[in-house]
Amino acid sequence: MYCPESTVILLSTTVLGNVLQPFHFRAGTMSKLPKFEIELPAAPKSTKVNLSERDIAMATIYAQLYVLFLRHHSRTSNSTGAEVVLYHLPREGACKKMHILKLNRTGKFALNVVDNLVVVHHQDTETSVIFDIKLRGESDGTVTFHHPVLPARSIQPYQIPVAGPAPVTSQSPVPCKLYSSSWIVFQPDIIISASQGYLWNLQVKLQPIVNLLPDKGRLMDFLLQRKECKMVILSVCSQMLTESDRATLPVIATVFDKLNHEYKKYLDAEQSYTMAVETGQSRSSPLLKRPVRTQAVVDQSDMYTHVLSVFTEKKEMPHKFVISVLMEYIRSLNQFQIAVQHYLHELVIKTLVQHNLFYMLHQFLQYHVLSDSKPLACLLLSLESFYPPAHQLSLDMLKMLRSRLKTKCFSTLYFVFLNSETRDCEETLVLHQENTVKNMLLFSNRRLETKL
């Protein structure tokens, strides 16, 4: 069995076929990797269980190569149904059994890997189940057991158009037979119908999954690992802020924290890359690459444009809930040490003013819940006609910003002066040491001349 994506070939070396020898091909060379044994299901002594090629697959999942073994009977007596065993095959080191996917059913199965998801097709029920090994499972210390992420669902029906002359093509299309016994599956995402002569690429639609996973935290963990996830994530955030599907504040906080955790990881990676480029480390390390901004990075502008600004316009929402959601998002940004953009603070202020909550606005500014900034000060100045104290608050904020700027400039100048003074002292010390050495040498020469 050969995997072109990882350029690894698997060879069977025993009678039972369960001892596999992997070889890795790269740049015209072949490397022999450590062989490993596939654990076959338990069977009576009178019968021998051989490893069949159709029960083995190789695929790259989350940038790691795995050997997938479809075990039709569990090795444990208290467990019924088939399972998929994932063996991690590293470039260096021994192959290890890492994950077991519990199918809880028997029959004929086929495997695909789509968007880092293991999709298992069951012919008898004509359904498919999805597994995500990144989600939390049950671990016994060495192996993690996973259950399907979603309830079993069928592949979307496909209508085969009738080809031929115009009078014939007016006939209604023929429905494709799903989960046919003539299906042939190739990794990672190819399904071939030999009887009908069609080849498909399997895809996983994310939007319908939103209503199948009620746990918003687990849903976010699932979506953040998918390639085309941003718009679906934003739709989930909007949905949980609607009157009909309104989530509780702890759930909303969990979602915000998960989003900002990914956001912060990207910002840190970008900052590390920028510093490496500025210090010249990128030249000495050619493997250093600019971090890729995936769709899992949902920044403040995304949330403001697609979720929060639309949310604040909803008249039916209680204003206390609206303000709580805005402050929860700002709290999450602060928790991950992400600088809050001024337009989020402006959105909070406009919402407070709209509902005449000036006392709360005053407290937020007084206790620096809303960070000082020039745009914020200008906004406060424009609110003087609605709230007269806003004029003084604006002036105080501008004075505070000016004072901080002066302090920063003074600190910078002092630092430059200190560096200059230190450099002068070092030069004086070096000169003094050189003079001392010269005087000692001169004194030694004079004593030597006197003795001679």
* DSSP at 153: B
Residue 166 scores a pLDDT above 60: no
Contact 58, 1 (CB under 8 A): yes
- Quick check: is 214 in a domain? yes
Q: Do 130 and 187 share a domain, yes or no?
A: yes
Residue 411 covered by a domain: no
Q: What is the pLDDT of residue 1?
A: 84
Q: What is the DSSP string of 27-85?
A: TTEEEEPPPEE--PPP--TTS-PPPPGGGEEEEEETTEEEEEEEESS-SSTT--S-EEE
- pLDDT of residue 413 exceeding 50, the answer is no
What residues form DSSP beta bridges with 83?
71, 102
Residue 314 shares a structural domain with residue 227: yes
pLDDT tens-place string over residues 135-158: 999 998 899 999 999 999 999 888
Between 212 and 50, the more confident residue is: 212
Least confident of 196-210, 248-262, 353-367, 421-435: 421-435
Residue 119 lies in a domain: yes
Inform me whether the pLDDT recorded for 129 exceeds 50. Answer: yes
At residue 265 the predicted structure's pLDDT band, cuts being 50, 70 and 90, is very high
Q: How confident is the model over 102-106, as a mean pLDDT?
A: 90
* pLDDT one-digit tens code per residue, 54-67: 889 999 999 999 99
Confidence grade of residue 76 (pLDDT, cut at 50, 70, 90): low
Q: What residue numbers bound the domain in which 226 lies? A: 208-402
**Residue 232, in any domain of the structure:** yes
Strands 96-102 and 144-146: parallel
Instruction: Judge if 280 and 197 occupy the same domain.
Output: no
Asked if residue 137 and residue 111 are part of one domain, the reply reads yes
Q: What is the distance between the alpha carbons of residues 369 and 352, in angstroms, rounded to a whole number?
A: 14
3 state DSSP class of 407: helix
pLDDT at 254: 96
* 80-84, 308-312, 352-356 — most confident range: 308-312
Residue 152 exposure: Cα atoms within 13 Å on the Cβ side: 13
Residue 46 resides in a domain:
no
Q: Are residues 270 and 310 in the same domain?
A: yes
Say whether pLDDT at 132 is over 90. Answer: yes
Q: What is the mean pLDDT of residues 261-278?
A: 91
How far apart (Å, rounded) are the C-alpha atoms in residues 189 and 212? 23
Q: Is residue 252 part of a domain?
A: yes
273 and 371 fall within a common domain: yes
> What would the DSSP string read from start to end of 295-331?
TT---HHHHIIIIIHHHHT-TTS-HHHHHHHHHHHHH
Tell me which of 162-171, 205-214, 310-319 is least confident: 162-171
- 72-100: string of b/e by CB count within 10 Å (b at 16+)? bbbeeeeeeebbbbbbbbeeeeebebebb
Report how far residue 298's alpha carbon sits from residue 304's, in angstroms, rounded to the nearest whole number.
Answer: 10
Residue 87 has pLDDT above 80, yes or no: yes
Percentage of the chain exceeding pLDDT 90: 43
User: Rounded to two decimals, what is the model's pTM?
Assistant: 0.81
- 293 and 368 housed in the same domain: yes
Statement to judge: residues 309 and 223 lie in one domain:
yes
Contact of 138 with 144, CB cutoff 8 Å: yes
| 111 and 149 in a common domain | yes
Same domain, 149 and 199: yes
pLDDT value for 68: 94
The answer on 242 and 179 residing in a single domain is no
- pLDDT given at position 81: 84
Residue 225 has pLDDT above 70, yes or no: yes
How many H-runs (helices) and E-runs (strands) does the chain carry?
A: 12, 19
In a domain, 187, yes or no: yes
Residue 412 lies inside a defined structural domain of this protein: no
Contact of 344 with 371, CB cutoff 8 Å: no
Q: How many domains does the chain divide into? A: 2
Q: 417 pLDDT band (50/70/90 cuts)?
A: very low
* Average pLDDT of the chain to the nearest whole number: 83
- Return the number of other C-beta atoms located less than 10 Å from residue 167's C-beta: 7
Reported as a single tens digit per residue, the pLDDT across 383-412 is 877 778 777 877 877 887 777 655 655 455
Say what the pLDDT of residue 337 is.
Answer: 94
Identify whether residues 258 and 198 lie together within a single domain.
no
Give residue 84's identity as a one-letter amino acid code: V
